[in-house]
Amino acid sequence: MNTAASSMLLAALACLSCELRESRQVRPAYPPPGYSPPGYPAPGYPAPGYPAPSHPAPQQSVPQGNYGAPPPQAQGQPGSGVVWTPVPPTNGSSNPTWGPTLTDIMQRKPARETGTWPDEEGTAHELTHSIGFELRLAATRTDRRATGFYVLGGRAAILHEPSFRKAQVAALIPPSLRRYRYDLYLAGQPGWDDRPLYVWDEWNAYINGATVAIERYQLGLEPHTTFAVKDVVLAVLEFTVYAAADILAAMQYEPSYLSQQPQSREFFAFNAERAMSVFQRGRKLPPFDYPDTDAYEATFKAAPEAEPLRASLRSLYGAGWTRRVFGF
């Protein structure tokens, strides 16, 4: 191989290994400096609480609590048909200050990952991306459009990317539901435009990060400063809205996708239940009781401009499921 060809190959490999990290390095703070929530009233739409999961914990060196355990899926219900890929531990690290869920993630930290982050939920978020990156590298050996999502408990789902564009997904989100992360992840990141499940990758990372934040607070591992309120739990609902726009985009731009890719259809249902479980558990805890949480939820549940999102979910999963999971 000549020098020019060698240089091109090395550049391509470097790009492949770093493409996920590019988006992770610009994850915004919770919230960004100068952000203030809208001043509209909070109508108070308390969605039905989703019970904490009660199934046995997976085997690992630190017992897995119910905090991050995926919710149980009744056979035949939306989300019960996901085909899971096992994700065994890569190491035996542990620290009593981590909590069970962060331990679960840290024990699956890829060997090549050397990054450090300023807080535990951020670490969980970024390592979720790292684990997903390794899953994607392995899966693309047989499917160049594959991507992977680690959902805790040693389980991951491998999905096939649709052919519509992320920009098409972004356009379906009504302005009233576009919080500050929209500009970075939906309108921004043009390098991911042909990978619309990039939205689900961020969604999944925010779920895992919020799970760690809630768990560490409830276990007394993370003290709360009276005036320090993060929107890390509201971010889970925000990204659930954005993730739902992928479903609407599939129906509009690639109608065969959800029937031909049942894994994607089932995974959304599974992860939506997981997301709403995390959201409901953390929304009123002092560190996460963010001012515009109720108003944002009410907009998703009842605003006319959000009806296409709600209708797409009812059409695909049934009104009984959407009432139970989302309250609409």
Task: Please give the average pLDDT of every successive group of 10 residues along the chain, which has 328 residues.
Answer: 45 39 40 34 26 30 47 80 97 96 98 94 98 96 96 98 98 98 96 97 98 96 81 98 99 98 98 98 96 98 99 98 98
In whole angstroms, what is the distance from residue 323 CA to residue 293 CA?
19
Domain residue spans in the chain? 83-326
The residue among 318, 299, 298, 301 whose CA lies nearest residue 310 is 301
Report which residue type is found at 47. A
142-145 long-range contacts, Cβ below 8 Å, gap at least 24? none
In whole angstroms, what is the distance from residue 118 CA to residue 174 CA?
33
pLDDT of residue 16: 39
In whole angstroms, what is the distance from residue 169 CA to residue 203 CA?
14
pLDDT of residue 152: 98
pLDDT of residue 120: 96
In whole angstroms, what is the distance from residue 275 CA to residue 69 CA?
11
- Contact between residue 312 and residue 240 where contact means Cβ atoms under 8 Å apart: no
What is the model's pTM?
0.81
- Contact between residue 62 and residue 103 where contact means Cβ atoms under 8 Å apart: yes
